Amino acid sequence: MSKIGLIMGREIKSKLTNKTFIIMTILAPLLITGFLAFIIKMSQSEKTEQSVLVVDDSKLFEDKLKGNEYIKLTFTSAKLEQAVNEFYKKNYTCVLWVSPTIIEGGAGATKLFYKKSPGFAFQTFIKDQMEKIIYENKLKANNIDPNIISNSRQSIKIILEKVNDKGNTEEQSAFGFFGFITGALMFIFILMYGMMVFRSVMEEKTNRIVEVIVSSVKPFELMIGKIFGVAVLGLIQFVAMGIITFLLSSILSGVFLKDAYTQLDKFKEQQEMVKKNGSNTNFNSLEKFDDQVEFFEVLSKIKKINFIEVFVCFVLYFIGGYLFYSSIMAAIGSAVDTESDSQQFITPVMIPLMLGYFIASKTILDPDSSIVFWGSLIPFTSPIVMMSRIANGVPVWEIITSLLLLFASFIIMVWLAAKIYRTGILMYGKKTNWREIGKWLFYK
Amino acid sequence: MNILQINNVSKKYSQHIALNNVSLSIPEKSIFGLLGPNGAGKTSLIRIINQITGPDTGEIFFKNEKLSQKHIEKIGYLPEERGLYKKMTVGEQALYLAQLKGLKKNDAKKKLLYWFEKFEMGGWWKKKIEELSKGMQQKVQFIVTVLHEPELIILDEPFSGFDPINAQLIKNEIIELQKKGSTIIFSTHNMGSVEELCNNIALINKSEKILDGSVNEIKKQHRTNTYKIAFKGNVMGFANALWTGGEVLEKITEDDTHYFTIKLAKNITSNQVLQLILPTCEIVSFNEIIPNMNDIFISNVKPINNTTQINNAFTE
């Protein structure tokens, strides 16, 4: 037993002092939180201040084209040439020029001169208004009251409410994308640490140190020490990554989401009222959040995720899935002499993992389908598929069953792997195939 | 007492029989040579002794106790295919391997320092293995093998890859270890070192033991009654005198001295031959030609049909 400890210790120490490993541990959370921050930032509306000088030669837009709290419009009767020439002397961020024939359309009938590239949202803001004004103008030219048209047209926002078996509505919690990300992370981690075991086994074999070691410890002890050592390494990395991610995301959400949460609460309050009053709701009295509904949905789902549950499940499924797959990896690592021979063995191991990944991606669209259900129970795919479901809320019995199945299959797998391993590590110079490996299972 | 008693051990891999009913006794405090051509089954036997694999049938006793896990710490093993972790430092690695053999960290360190001093490896502790030459790595491997003062040391081709100076160093160590009470089994193709070191040998060929015993005993058994005589005088007279005593296998003449290799006839002793030839010449020297291990090895292994061996190599 103490020898397994020694083997684990060596395994951990050799990787822990590895530069790539340290960089990985720090860089990965940076990338993840950076990516999340980027998505959140993108889903929020643009807030760059713009001060626009409008040279409207069509005379259609004065008084009709409106700015907002970030966009300030100033109309001028100056000529375009002059306005552009003086652009840099003045504080305007943009000059908007509208040709006299704008109503007939054509590319370049409107130009926006700028110093610093204006955002897409700003452009859309201006463009949408102008199109609307021209539209109304044309309607008027045909003696149609634009109010009739606009009143008869109403965009609606569908707000989803899930009803549970007790007849209560509960806030819709399907957050497929998050589930998919955790599933994908599981896929990456299992593969990454599985490969670590694979390489380590192969290294010992090609180094020819393995025979010295197995004359001191049983091959099984060596294999299990290696697998557990890398597992501890994985957990160290998780905890480190978890802490870094938590710190970073707290800082980021403090910066980006300060107002968002108070607004979100107000929005929710309103929706509660709508639910209560139904058709009697006076919608005019409600603050309109139409632009932000998508963002609120994302935000409220993030808020709803039980991160502790997700983290605990992630660790448990990682341990189970990793142990299961790394036993296979140890077995095939013992069977090959060179990295180039290894492909034919790694590919078949990758297939169930890939399958898990695809089923996980199906969870986004159809979390209650039977393929997802079975995929989250069968050990080959369960770590990945179950992780993709967990944020949606999964009955406890399903989690327990799937974990029990996973750990039971690990024990069977490690037993088989040990049989292959102890023969494989001492086989040199022979090209191995699956049939050969099959035979090793039956050696005494 | 025998340190190892191997009884009727057989080991089979799917189509290939590695060991067929092999029995051996290895006396305590001896240097035991395990000989045989490549693929004869030596490494399989060594692995079974090290409990890396188990025999299909047969039993092994270590000092009259059935061989078990607890004996692992009493055995030191230097395999033929030996390596070290390239990225680890010499010291760390040696400590690790010593601890795997059951030594406490501090004891291991003390012993290592002693050996490092002895082998003039003082500055090596913090060097990475990949920075060492092959010969230097072999020294580290040898030290690790004997560090835990095993009662039984098994060396598989210990001299391959060593330069003559280091090989001599290791030879001296082997002899010293034997004096201190260890038993050494070593497997080799180098017959010269067998003769130099071994008290006992076993010859394995095609999965079977074909010969074993003490080196002197085996040599006696393989005596061919051949002698080399150097003399001065008349060759014709010498040959006539010898007529009934034996046949001449080879004759060489240098200056006035003749060197004859003769095989004695049956039932004739060396004394009788000397009496026959004594009157005819002046004898300079008279020596028995004792077969060396190389001859014994070849003569025992060869009779097996060579062509089938080659065919097997192709089909395997």
**pLDDT tens, A297-338?**
777 777 777 778 888 898 899 999 999 999 999 999 998 887
Domains of chain A and CATH, by start: 2-40+176-440 (no CATH), 50-152 (3.40.190.10)
Q: What does the block give as tokens for A58?
A: 């069509």
- Which CATH number fits the domain that encloses residue B245? 3.30.70.1150
Q: Do A443 and B100 touch (CB under 8 A)?
A: no
**Mean pLDDT throughout B144-173?**
88
Residue type, A23: I
- What's the pLDDT tens digit per position in A276-304? 777 777 666 666 666 666 677 777 777 77
B310 occurs within a structural domain: no
The residues, ordered by sequence, that sit 6+ positions from A171 with a Cβ below 8 Å of its Cβ are: A161, A162, A300, A304
Query: CA-CA distance, A403 to B155, in Å (whole number)?
Result: 48
B214 and B86 in a single domain? The answer is yes
Q: Do B52 and A3 touch (CB under 8 A)?
A: no
Which residues constitute the domain of residue B111? 2-220
B315 occurs within a structural domain: no
B228 and B203 in a single domain? The answer is no
Selected for mutation to probe chain A from B100, B126, B160 (highest A CB count within 10 Å) is B100
**Mean pLDDT throughout A141-157?**
77
B233 and B216 in a single domain? The answer is no
The whole-angstrom distance between residue A62's C-alpha and the CA centroid of its chain comes to 45
Binning pLDDT at 50, 70 and 90, where does residue A162 land? low
Q: Do B83 and A208 touch (CB under 8 A)?
A: yes
In total, chain A counts a number of residues equal to 444
Query: A217 at the B interface (CB within 8 A)?
Result: yes
Query: CA-CA distance, A45 to A67, in Å (whole number)?
Result: 15
State the helix-helix crossing angle for B235-242 and B270-277, rounded to 10 degrees. 140
Closest by CA to A7, choosing from B125, B51, B96, B105, is B96
Binning pLDDT at 50, 70 and 90, where does residue B157 land? confident
Tally of structural domains, chain B: 2
**Mean pLDDT throughout B29-56?**
88
The full DSSP string for chain B is: -EEEEEEEEEEEETTEEEEEEEEEEEETT-EEEEE--TTSSHHHHHHHHTTSS--SEEEEEETTEE--GGGGGGEEEE-SS----TTSBHHHHHHHHHHHTT--HHHHHHHHHHHHHHTT-GGGTT-BGGGS-HHHHHHHHHHHHHTT--SEEEEESTTTT--HHHHHHHHHHHHHHHHTT-EEEEE-S-HHHHHHH-SEEEEEETTEEEEEEEHHHHHHHT---EEEEEEEE-HHHHHHHHTTTEEEEEEEEETTEEEEEEEEPTT--HHHHHHHHGGGEEEEEEEE-PPPHHHHHHHHHTTS-HHHHHHHHHH-
Binning pLDDT at 50, 70 and 90, where does residue A190 land? very high
On the question of pLDDT at B140 being above 70, the answer is yes
- What's the pLDDT tens digit per position in A354-381? 999 998 888 877 777 888 889 989 999 9
Query: A208 at the B interface (CB within 8 A)?
Result: yes
- Which CATH number fits the domain that encloses residue B182? 3.40.50.300
- What's the pLDDT tens digit per position in A23-41? 888 888 888 788 877 776 6
pLDDT of residue B26: 92
| Among chain B residues, CA nearest to A211 | B79
B297 occurs within a structural domain: no
- Looking at B188, B220, B252, which one is the last position of a domain? B220
B94 and B193 in a single domain? The answer is yes
B116 and B206 in a single domain? The answer is yes
pLDDT of residue B313: 40
Query: B81 at the A interface (CB within 8 A)?
Result: yes
On the question of pLDDT at B316 being above 50, the answer is no
| Among chain B residues, CA nearest to A222 | B100
B306 occurs within a structural domain: no
- Cβ contact B107:B148 at 8 Å: no
pLDDT of residue A408: 95
Tell me how close the Cα of A11 comes to any Cα of chain B, in angstroms.
11
B85 and B182 in a single domain? The answer is yes
pLDDT of residue B192: 79
Binning pLDDT at 50, 70 and 90, where does residue A43 land? low
Of A215, A426, A439, the CB nearest to B77: A215
Burial B300-309 (b: 16+ CB within 10 A, else e): bbeeeeeeee
**Mean pLDDT throughout A151-160?**
72
B44 and B179 in a single domain? The answer is yes
- What's the pLDDT tens digit per position in B193-238? 888 888 898 888 888 888 888 888 888 888 888 888 898 888 888 8
- Looking at B220, B240, B260, which one is the last position of a domain? B220
B212 and B256 in a single domain? The answer is no
pLDDT of residue A410: 94
Q: Do B85 and A209 touch (CB under 8 A)?
A: yes
| Among chain A residues, CA nearest to B129 | A207
Closest by CA to A428, choosing from A213, A172, A260, A210, is A210
B44 and B173 in a single domain? The answer is yes
Residue A375 burial (C-beta neighbours within 10 Å; 0-12, 13-18, 19+):
buried
Average confidence score pLDDT of chain B: 85
Binning pLDDT at 50, 70 and 90, where does residue B310 land? very low
pLDDT of residue A227: 94
User: ipTM of this complex > 0.90?
Assistant: no
Q: Do B86 and A207 touch (CB under 8 A)?
A: yes
Selected for mutation to probe chain B from A6, A202, A209, A426 (highest B CB count within 10 Å) is A209
A-B Cβ pairs (cutoff 8 Å, strict): 65
B312 occurs within a structural domain: no
Binning pLDDT at 50, 70 and 90, where does residue B239 land? confident
Largest CA-CA distance found in chain B, in angstroms, rounded: 76
B22 and B152 in a single domain? The answer is yes
Query: A444 at the B interface (CB within 8 A)?
Result: yes
- What's the pLDDT tens digit per position in A98-142? 888 877 777 778 888 888 777 777 888 888 888 888 888 888 888
B280 occurs within a structural domain: yes
pLDDT of residue B76: 92
B142 and B162 in a single domain? The answer is yes
B298 occurs within a structural domain: no
Q: Do B100 and A3 touch (CB under 8 A)?
A: yes
Tell me how close the Cα of A317 comes to any Cα of chain B, in angstroms.
32
- What's the pLDDT tens digit per position in A163-182? 666 666 555 445 667 788 88
Provide, as residue numbers in chain A, all residues whose Cβ is less than 8 Å from the Cβ of B79.
208, 211-212, 215
**Mean pLDDT throughout B76-83?**
87
B165 and B240 in a single domain? The answer is no
pLDDT cut 70: percent of chain B above it: 96
**Mean pLDDT throughout B279-301?**
84
B92 occurs within a structural domain: yes
Q: Do A14 and B85 touch (CB under 8 A)?
A: yes
Query: B56 at the A interface (CB within 8 A)?
Result: yes
